[in-house]
Amino acid sequence: MNFNELSPTQPVILGFDPGKDKCGLAIMGLDRQLYFHQVVPSLDAIATINKLRQRFPVSLLVMGNQTTAKRWKQQLQAELLQPLNIMLVDERYSTLEARDRYWQMYPPQGLTKLLPKGMRQPPRPIDDIVAILLIERYLNRLTESVNS
């Protein structure tokens, strides 16, 4: 588990990138401080979200609006221990963007550095990084509406 040892005092946002086999989860504050990110098996996603909510003051769940969003949203509303507001955000191109972000967060080492950027494949699933990007897209949308 990738935990930031600081515990937030302000409400945080839970990013959720649901998939058939695995899901990405991330927790970020409104100040864009990242507190947690992990890829979990889809079967464990809701239990993990319930555990995270015991540890963090989650005020909102943000998830992508594509393929399985509707089904997951219904399942979350039915199975979460306490109700939670769920916002859908545009997730187009998020996987490509997540691959670039992975290499920013974990700079390539050794021979991987020699590969052209487009050929580098992250050595692990990056659904958690997609979840981070979904939160950032939501926050960007908020700041754009405040500033316009």
The model's pTM: 0.89
Q: Which residues pair with 61 in a beta bridge?
A: 14, 86
Q: Are 125 and 39 in contact (CB under 8 A)?
A: yes
Q: Where are the domains of the chain?
A: 2-147
Residue 133 has pLDDT above 80, yes or no: yes
Instruction: Give 22-55 pLDDT, tens digit per residue.
Output: 999 999 999 999 999 999 999 999 999 999 999 9
Q: Which CATH class is domain 2-147?
A: alpha beta
Residue 1: the pLDDT is 46
Q: Are 84 and 76 in contact (CB under 8 A)?
A: yes
